[in-house]
Amino acid sequence: MADVNQGSVLPGETTPPALDGLNATDSNGTDAVNATVAKFVATPEGTALAYGSLVFMALLPIFFGALRSVSCGKSKVAGENGCDYEYRNSSDMPETITGRDAARFPIIASCTLFGLYLFFKIFSQEYINLLLSMYFFVLGILALSHTMSPFMNRIFPASIPIKQYQLLFTQGSGETKEEIVNYEFDTKDMICLVISTVVGVWYILKKHWIANNLFGLAFALNGVELLHLNNISTGCILLGGLFVYDVFWVFGTNVMVTVAKSFEAPIKLVFPQDLLEKGLGASQFAMLGLGDIVIPGIFIALLLRFDVSLKKNTRTYFHTSFLAYIFGLGLTIWVMHTFKHAQPALLYLVPACIGFPVVVALLKGELTEMFRYEEVSAEDAAAKEETTQVEKKDK
């Protein structure tokens, strides 16, 4: 007998409407009915609405995150782009992923996953999830606030004065003084933080699926925007490594399934399959992990920046990879329903997102140019600019 895991899921796994078994779970992941009650069976309309909504929600952070990643992308070829909004804090600056980072990432992810598995086996699930809820409460507020910032900049009334604030914590004094926290914000950021805090309190108190999705979409969009692969080869290494990671932990062991059943955090997008019957109080969910959005998303965003670097006023590789993602996710859902078993979505997304653009590059004769394209981090770009200025002065 197998439980229907409707409560939580780890990135890298999607959950079918119902597995073989008699137990169902509610939105908090707790047993909702006993073995004497028939398992929940979604209607065709409810299933189509749920998975159609999940696909649509998955595309939003990829599309808008990729566009926002271009705004402040620092590439060797097209590093002259201006920013639509200013990054005032170092924590909001894009983080460049190198080949070494990509190679280590699956190992780190595996250690983290297995560590969570051991924690849930040794310690009380209730207390672990309480700590995780508080942790993601803070992260979610910051992520949602950052997501709303460009929108707030556009709609904020010009008649309202904007005041600047700074949160500063230091350690030591005199020459030994060291900054611990230095966060700058203004009136618009304060409004975003207030709105985000309301959503956070709603999530903590109710664990409502809409609040979960608001945080999940914010996490995904920030990930696609701020995590930059430095070149195509690094992207292939990252996606290839996580392809193996996903397949091994889903099919090879029960670790991911165990953690997924125990883990309560906004690290997935959910949509109720019984929405048509129960409205916003629905409790039987289809799910998609954020890893299945962010990991392909940062590769798609890289291809968009590559399109920009070509200066041909086309977005061929972005459109190709975007359609490839839709194809891969649709294939995942089809296989999941055919075999009635949770699927590692990266098993289908990785070949599609890498294969389609590579084939297009081969047909256009731009494969070499694609793999030569490289980006540098903001720190490296600044260091290079400083070196150039010094050389000019010496001359």
| Cβ contact 24:2 at 8 Å | no
Strands 268-272 and 285-289, sheet pairing: antiparallel
Separation CA 321–CA 360 (nearest Å)? 10
3-state secondary structure of 382: helix
Pairs from 21-25 (Cβ < 8 Å, separation ≥ 24): 24/284
Q: How far apart are CA 318 and CA 63, in angstroms?
A: 9
Q: Please pick, among 189, 274, 292, 307, the residue that the annotation labels catalytic.
A: 292
Catalytic residue flag (residue 246): yes
Residue of 246, 274, 307, 394 with catalytic role: 246
β-strand partners of 184? 166
CB 209, CB 285: distance < 8 Å: yes
The answer to whether 365 touches 34, Cβ cutoff 8 Å, is: no
Nearest to 261 by CA among 2, 1, 49: 2
Q: Is 380 a catalytic residue?
A: no
CA 341 to CA 335: how far, in whole Å? 8
Cα–Cα distances in angstroms (integers) from residue 353 to residues 52, 247, 294, 375, in the given order: 20, 17, 13, 20
Residues belonging to the active site: 246, 292
